[in-house]
Amino acid sequence: MLISRVQKIDTADFCELRALIESASLKEPFVLWYRFPSAMTDFIDPKNGDPFLVVGLLPAMRTGEALEVSASVSPMLLRSTDTIQDIYKSWDPSLHRATINCPDRDLSLPVVKPSGVGLYFSLGVDSFYSFLKNITCPNDNAATITHLIVVHGFDVYYGKWNSALFTDVLRNAMHVGREFGKALLPVATNLRDFSDQFADWGVLYHGAALAIVGLALQNAFKVLLVAATDSYANLIPRGSHPILDPLWSTETTRFVQDGCEATRLDKTRFIARFPIVLDTLRVCFMNPNTEYNCGRCEKCLRTMIGLHIAGALSRCRTLPHGIDTDLASQIAVHRHEEFFISELVDALGQSPMDQRIRRALEQSLARCRRVKAASTARHRLLPMLRDVLGRLEGLRRRRAP
């Protein structure tokens, strides 16, 4: 896999960083691009190969190809790729170790000392928690956030089925930025048109995708905060993870995962105190008919239940105020969401409504556990079945004339 022809293109509306990706696994070369506000052009360096090393790492591990990047990369980041690949392979043993060929950056040259502190901001529970904690609970170890980074092309696709939703996302993010005096940095990319061919977004790739944006902007940011999905009590393999995110750091820019000390319900209770959250909160990834929040999917429902527990659902302008317990009983609880649901069950009170919600969630959990038990049984039986079949095949060969 070769990533080359890195160039920066300035237009009247934006600054574009692009590169050509060639691979035996692609029908034709892919032109990858990122678009940043024109004001960021002085910080974008086409000689910086760091973002493209990260772009190609998982796809190369999936295809078994060597990864070659024509632009120079950070020696620190390059060293970290050994550990990064170890982590990815432990999560997905079907991946291959990729050989990486790219020139090291010359560290003897003068370097820009960035000063910004960015937070990837989706208007969701996790990023709102990290943002508001940074503002209201400052401490000596936490750098003060200067920019909110909002990306069009991640959960809101660029130019596809829910693309129109980004207008509302950007408007609300700008409202939050103005309210707290923070700069908003919108970014657009076609990355998922490439990455989705090789790696699952949630399980593996989305943390790398965040790092790519930050590495392209590393001349501007000394620290980039990634809002944690899971708490320390519930860490599971996930593309953004406290042991993985810091490994994307370079000599000038540090990636920090923030918020692992709090569970999802802890975060919901904390952010529910702020009216601006209840005016702009966005959690839905389903977005039927480009709805801001559908109010019916698993993520909307458990957020609504969390806000109900916090006593704030009736004040939230972006989600329905009533909880459909029939829908809640049908939630498809994936393994990585079981902890979130169990936490809600434990926190519900004794009111008639709370008891109805609890029964609904317990039905969903029970179904999830039955599926998990069946899956575990299959995994235990398969080696035994393979062994029996192997023995039968051996007997057949010995008896064959």
**What's the pLDDT score for residue 393?**
65
**221, 239, 258: which is the final residue of a domain?**
258
Which neighbouring-strand residues pair with 2?
22, 68
Could you tell me if residue 315 is inside a domain? yes
| Segments of 254-302 assigned E as strands | 254-258
pLDDT tens sequence across 2-11: 999 999 999 9
Residue partners of 284: CB distance under 8 A and separation at least 6 = 291, 292, 293, 294, 295, 297, 299, 300
Shared-domain flag, residues 232 and 296: no
If you count DSSP H runs as helices and E runs as strands, how many of each does the chain have, helices first? 12, 10
Shared-domain flag, residues 228 and 298: no
Shared-domain flag, residues 186 and 226: yes
Domain total in the chain: 2
pLDDT tens sequence across 20-43: 999 999 999 999 999 999 999 999
pTM of the model: 0.91
Nearest to 259 by CA among 77, 121, 87, 81: 121
**What's the pLDDT score for residue 380?**
59
Could you tell me if residue 322 is inside a domain? yes
CA-CA distance, 201 to 158, in Å (whole number)? 15
Give the containing element (helix H, strand E) for 53. helix 50-63
CA-CA distance, 212 to 12, in Å (whole number)? 24
Could you tell me if residue 211 is inside a domain? yes
CA-CA distance, 293 to 155, in Å (whole number)? 13
**258, 279, 303: which is the final residue of a domain?**
258
Q: From the CB of residue 45, how many other CB atoms can be counted at a distance below 10 Å?
A: 16
pLDDT tens sequence across 299-357: 999 999 999 999 999 999 999 999 999 999 998 887 678 899 999 999 999 999 999 99
Shared-domain flag, residues 201 and 338: no
Could you tell me if residue 78 is inside a domain? yes
Shared-domain flag, residues 83 and 210: yes
Could you tell me if residue 265 is inside a domain? no
CA-CA distance, 129 to 147, in Å (whole number)? 15
Shared-domain flag, residues 236 and 194: yes
Shared-domain flag, residues 246 and 381: no
Could you tell me if residue 305 is inside a domain? yes
Shared-domain flag, residues 151 and 292: no
Residues of the chain with pLDDT under 70: 140-142, 335, 371-398, 400-401
Could you tell me if residue 128 is inside a domain? yes
Shared-domain flag, residues 27 and 81: yes
Residue partners of 345: CB distance under 8 A and separation at least 6 = 358, 361, 362, 365
Radius of gyration of the chain (CA): 23
CA pseudo-torsion sign 306, 308, 312, 313: positive
Shared-domain flag, residues 224 and 338: no
Q: Are 191 and 210 in contact (CB under 8 A)?
A: no
**238, 258, 278: which is the final residue of a domain?**
258
Q: Which domain holds residue 330?
A: 287-401
Q: How far is CA 338 from CA 116, 344, 365, in A?
A: 37, 10, 7
Could you tell me if residue 140 is inside a domain? yes
CA-CA distance, 245 to 207, in Å (whole number)? 7
**What's the pLDDT score for residue 108?**
85
Phi, psi at residue 255, to the nearest 5°? -100, 130
Shared-domain flag, residues 70 and 188: yes
Which tokens sit at 347?
């926190």
| Residue whose pair of structure tokens reads 């062994």 in the numeric block | 387
Shared-domain flag, residues 253 and 291: no
Nearest to 328 by CA among 362, 294, 352: 362
Q: From the CB of residue 228, how many other CB atoms can be counted at a distance below 10 Å?
A: 26
